[in-house]
Amino acid sequence: MISRIKYALYYNGDLAGVSNNFIHEKSEKILVRDFSIHMKGKILCPSCLGRLAKSPAEKNYFSNGRAACFFHIKGEGLDCNLRSKPKQGKLYDTEE
Ligand SMILES: [Zn+2]
Give dist(CA 38, CA 56) in Å, integer: 14
Q: Is the pLDDT reported for residue 89 higher than 80? A: no
Distance 77 CA to ligand 1 centre (A): 5
Would you say how long the chain is, in residues?
Answer: 96
Is residue 1's pLDDT more than 50? no
Q: Ligand 1 center to residue 51 CA distance, Å?
A: 8
13 Cα: distance to centroid of ligand 1 (angstroms) = 19
User: Which residue in 60, 50, 56 sits closest to 23, CA to CA?
Assistant: 50
Q: Fill in the amino acid letter for 85.
A: K
Percent of the chain with pLDDT over 70: 84
11-32 average pLDDT score: 95
The residue-averaged pLDDT of 67-85 equals 90
CA of 74 from ligand 1 middle (Å) equals 11
